[in-house]
Structure 1
Amino acid sequence: MSVADYMTPRLVVVSPKTTISVAVELMKKNAIHRLPVMAGNRMVGLITHGIIQRAMPSQATSLSVYELNYLLTKTTVDQIMETAVQTVAATAQLETAIATMRKNKIGVLPVMTGDQVVGIITNNDILDAFLNIAGYGQPGIVTRVVVHHDHVGVIFAIGKVLERVWIL
């Protein structure tokens, strides 16, 4: 299974000069937490809800609501975005995306075809893929086969056993 099979192809993006308040509003409106930052057709960064939270002053500050709102309307995405963005190829195996996300302790990967962003894959997309692969919610029987001594023909032999069971 490739990343393209489970990615979200509909992208909501922002430009580098988008204000944080507009980015937050886009995230709320689209029920998402991450936005690729695009300069024309080229991805130049990524802005996430977490990055925005870390960039905002602590609630313990003496800033008023008005001063905080002023900051949100004057700060632009390019001032706080992540520029060293991990990506994954659309043709990569789902396991590659999972390994990259785990290794880098991130929850999202922009999906690329060449140098073009064609989608985004998140933790939730991977959980959906797992449920799909496991057949969750579908009728039938899910089984696990452990092969202790792999050799040529073992899958064929398992298929023959399953064929006999199916006929019964």
Structure 2
Amino acid sequence: MNWDTLFSLTNAVAMLGWLALAVLPRRPLTLSAVLYLGVGLLCLAYATLFILSIGQLIDPVRIAGTGEPDLLDYSIAGLRPLFMSDGGIVIGWTHYLAFDLFVGLWIARDADSKGVGRVVQLPFLFVTLMAGPIGLLSWLLFRETRSRRSSPVDG
């Protein structure tokens, strides 16, 4: 198993999805492609690699001296061995890529439905790509603030 190649492939799939969100027209075919050929493929890769790794059917290429991960020990010490391997890093990174792209797709759809222009969306999408939860939080704060400003005040 060449973990460097898998790392590059998952990054390429994610970048194509992000590029589609950023520059292509948001037609149903584009959004479906991002969902199924982007997010879906990343989820499939994650699930496959996770199962093969946990089943010890592939070599995760552990750092010398690192023990087997104990997935029942949800502590830093228990999970550390999982991430002290090339396989663990690729699997974890694929997890991030899939979820961040899904969140980016949701932000794009939500922004489109609220009439927020692409130029305004791009910074939120970029931050979500680079630091997923910060991008999502930023979008949620923006949409809430914008919603409150445009709603009539009861009173």
Higher RCO (CA-CA < 8 Å; seq separation 6+): 1
State the TM-score, normalizing by the size of structure 2.
0.29
State the TM-score, normalizing by the size of structure 1.
0.27
Q: Which has the higher strand share?
A: 1
Q: Which has the higher helix share?
A: 2
